[in-house]
């Protein structure tokens, strides 16, 4: 337990003193995970709305595919993204392998099924007659979708939080496509993994507390926004 106390104290000291190396890794983590979450929301929510409100042939198969994506192993995502972005891969000419952009792509693929699935669940939990009532009042298609999203906004916020949680804790894909390069692609999760492999458990614990503090701050902001809108 001693190294846990030492790690916690060291993590606090690193934050209080704004250690440049730690701040660089933390800011890159926030930028990468934030961008990946935003992309997953932009893609996942419209996809979830489409799957929840439209009926078409093969819808069940598509839903099953999206639900399966909720448990998509990060290492599998990292492998396939690496194969596509590698120099000899189909997208190798973009030269994105071992860059923050590659991490964003992998993490967005991980988070999008989470956001889409929870969006579907949030909309399907609405009263079945609500759609008919809105149509009976003369709502257009876009007005109908907008009002349904407003009614399901708490579930949508939960989808965003789940998407962020899925990427901020991810390490396998980030290490595979980013390479854990110091000053370029090293994020908090890959830094923790590196320190553990070196046997520097106190440093790993310190970084883990910083990661938890970062995740808690972002989720707390989203939760307060969610609950505030609920009261309003």
pLDDT tens-digit map of 127-180: 877 766 776 666 667 777 788 888 888 888 889 999 998 899 888 899 999 988
Buried residues in 193-225 as b, exposed as e (16+ CB within 10 A): bbbeeeebebbbbbbbbbbeebbeebeeebeee
The overall pTM is greater than 0.75: yes
* Structure-block tokens of residue 111: 């988070």
Residue scoring higher pLDDT (181 or 228): 181
In whole angstroms, how far apart are CA 189 and each of 15, 192, 194?
17, 5, 9
Which residue's structure tokens are 């929870």? 118
pLDDT in the model for residue 9: 66
pLDDT tens-digit map of 26-77: 899 999 999 999 999 999 999 999 998 888 888 889 999 999 988 888 999 9
Please name the residues in contact with 11: beta carbons below 8 A apart, sequence gap of 6 or more. 205, 206, 207, 208, 209, 210, 213
pLDDT in the model for residue 170: 87
The CATH number of 2-231, from 2.60.40.1180, 3.10.450.50, 1.10.3720.10, 2.40.128.50, is 1.10.3720.10
């Amino acid at each position: 337990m001693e190294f846990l106390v030492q790690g916690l104290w060291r993590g606090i000291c690193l934050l209080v003193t704004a250690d440049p190396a730690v701040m660089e890794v933390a800011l890159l983590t926030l930028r990468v995970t934030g961008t990946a979450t935003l992309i997953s929301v932009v893609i996942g929510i419209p996809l979830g709305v489409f799957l929840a409100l439209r009926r078409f042939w093969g819808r069940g198969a598509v839903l099953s595919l999206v639900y399966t994506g909720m448990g998509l192993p990060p290492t599998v995502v990292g492998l396939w993204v690496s194969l596509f972005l590698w120099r000899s891969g189909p997208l190798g000419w973009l030269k994105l392998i071992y860059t923050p952009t590659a991490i964003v792509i992998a993490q967005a693929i991980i988070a999008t099924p989470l956001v889409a699935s929870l969006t579907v669940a949030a909309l399907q939990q609405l009263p079945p007659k609500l759609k008919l009532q809105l149509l009976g009042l003369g709502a257009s298609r876009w007005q109908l979708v907008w009002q349904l999203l407003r009614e399901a906004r708490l579930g949508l916020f939960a989808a965003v939080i789940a998407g962020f949680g899925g990427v901020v804790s991810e390490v396998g894909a980030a290490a595979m496509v980013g390479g854990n390069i110091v000053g370029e692609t090293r994020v908090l999760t890959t830094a923790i993994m590196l320190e553990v492999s070196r046997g520097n458990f106190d440093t790993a614990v310190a970084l883990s507390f910083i990661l938890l503090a970062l995740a808690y701050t972002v989720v707390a902001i989203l939760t307060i926004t969610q609950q505030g809108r609920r009261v309003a």
